[in-house]
Amino acid sequence: MARTRLYRNGNLELEDFPVEDISEYVSDPSAVVWLDLCAPGPADLAMISEEFGLHALAVEDARNEHQRPKLDRYRTHSFLSAYAIGMDQESGLLTTSEVSAFITDTALITVRKDAGFDIEQVVARWDDAPDLVKHGVGFLVYGLLDFIVDGHFAAVQELDDRIEEVEEALFEEGTREIESVQRRSFELRKSLVRLRRVVLPMREVVNSLLRRDLHIVSEPLMPYFQDVYDHVLRATEWTESLRDMVTSIMETNLTVQGNRMNLIMKKVTSWASIIAVPTAITGFYGQNVPYPGFGTEWGFLVSTGATVVLSAVLYVSFRRKDWI
């Protein structure tokens, strides 16, 4: 599925025109063409490669999945690879949608691996800033990156909220709560690892676009790209801090479990000490040899009284020390 747009002299002139007509516009310096391909086949990639003179390595990267976020520079164009991030509300895991972009002097070609990347949101950003269209391809690239980076920021915020929920459940009692904290901690750590792989390289991508020798970002667009770069830095720093927080939660959870185990062992040991008193006394008076009070009523009363008194003394003593 392909989608096209033609901007001329800072105005949207055509939309959804046939892909075959692109060759009529790309040679016009006053025109800017946008072509979007969703899940293209080899024939589609071969067509744009021939039409725009794309490098074979860049086309191969656009065809293959799981590319690293990057910006490669070739003689006639640049190749951009990035990821949009979403959050699965049921599982709480991050979802990623890969997008590639070929950037030429008069065209932007976006290649989406699947429909998970919401290109309509990008188009909406372009339409919301008609005054910037006159700046050409750089404006289209800005709208694309702004949408992607904002998605990274929203994902970081969502993970921050989930980490706070885990922190609140960290000191709750109960086996289910302990297991829930462990499971959610590992899920958050897995999501943060995936987020880190996507967010951190974007700093280098945006920084490379800001280089003046690439001639992608014109002078009026510099503040907008610097704003995107600032968001990338904030998302990167926030991701690193969340990573430390999850590690702290996992370590604290182990410490809390150890403390709870020590408390349980302390209580069990205290009760075992109390139970040992009647066991020792009844065992002594159960010997099959004569002893003071053997076979008499007062001997039974003495052993019973000793059992009750000593057990009560131990109970009160342990209770004052908060051992039971």
Residue 122 pLDDT grade (very low, low, confident, very high; cuts 50, 70, 90): very high
The last residue of one of the domains, among 257, 285, 300, is: 257
Give the CATH number for residue 64. Answer: 3.30.460.20
Instruction: Express each pLDDT in 156-188 by its tens digit.
Output: 888 888 888 887 777 776 656 667 777 787 788
Domain check: are 159 and 297 in the same one? no
List of E strands, the chain: 2-8, 11-15, 31-38, 70-73, 78-87, 94-103, 107-112
Domain check: are 247 and 278 in the same one? no
The pair phi, psi for residue 78, each rounded to 5°, is -120, 150
d(CA 157, CA 178): 24
Domain with 278 in it: 266-320
d(CA 307, CA 295): 18
CA distances from 98 to 107, 116, 157, 199 (A): 20, 8, 21, 13
Q: 184 near 92, Cβ under 8 Å?
A: yes
Domain check: are 84 and 225 in the same one? yes
DSSP 258-270: HHHHHHHHHHHHH
The last residue of one of the domains, among 203, 224, 257, is: 257
Residue 251 pLDDT grade (very low, low, confident, very high; cuts 50, 70, 90): confident
Rounded to two decimals, what is the model's pTM? 0.77
The total number of structural domains that make up the chain: 2
Sheet holding 70-73, edge to edge: 11-15, 2-8, 31-38, 107-112, 94-103, 78-87, 70-73
Place of tokens 């191969």: 60
Q: Determine the pLDDT at residue 245.
A: 83
Instruction: Express each pLDDT in 15-71 by its tens digit.
Output: 988 888 888 888 888 889 999 999 888 888 888 888 888 999 999 999 988 889 999
The last residue of one of the domains, among 217, 238, 257, is: 257
Domain check: are 162 and 279 in the same one? no
More confident residue, 176 or 97: 97
Domain check: are 124 and 202 in the same one? yes
d(CA 262, CA 277): 23
d(CA 180, CA 162): 13
